[in-house]
Amino acid sequence: MPLINYIEFDGKEYSVNVAEGVSLMQGALDNMIDGIVAECGGCCVCCTCHCMIDPAWSEAAGIAAADESELLEMLDVREENSRLSCQVKVTSAMEGMIVRLPESQY
Ligand code: FES
């Protein structure tokens, strides 16, 4: 299981193993990491699972699909590396990935 490093807006870090095929959202929820609200439970309709993928892993994370991109457009704090964590499934290429969580979800 790849090690994923979630970093909250205040710098608090969580390093947890997340099984391949599980979303970054679910990995955060399963490990009781604050900063991922996930109101819609991963259905890509709420935007409360926003995260920023460290550029070193952007290729591994892939690109957002059209529906995800439309939702990301609605964010006040969208960054170049913003993703909806429910839409990013963990793979072995994500070992050590750094995922930052926005202050707006606390
Ligand atoms: S959990 Fe709602 S969009 Fe990701």
Ligand 1, pocket residues at CB < 6 Å: 25, 38-40, 42-49, 84, 86
What residue's CA is closest to ligand 1, atom 3? 44
Q: Are 6 and 33 in contact (CB under 8 A)?
A: yes
Instruction: Ligand 1 pocket test: pick from 23, 30, 37, 49 the residue with the most ligand atoms within 8 Å of its Cβ.
Output: 49
Structural domain boundaries enclosing 18: 3-105
Distances (CA, A) of 98 to 49, 57, 74, 89: 15, 8, 24, 14
Report how many domains make up the chain. Answer: 1
- In this prediction the pTM is 0.96
- The per-residue pLDDT string of the chain (106 residues; one tens digit each, 9 = 90 and over) reads 999 999 999 999 999 999 999 999 999 999 999 999 999 999 999 999 999 999 999 999 999 999 999 999 999 889 999 999 999 999 999 999 999 999 989 8
Ligand 1 centre distance from Cα of residue 14 (Å)? 20
CATH number for the domain spanning 93: value is: 3.10.20.30
Query: What's residue 106's pLDDT?
Result: 85
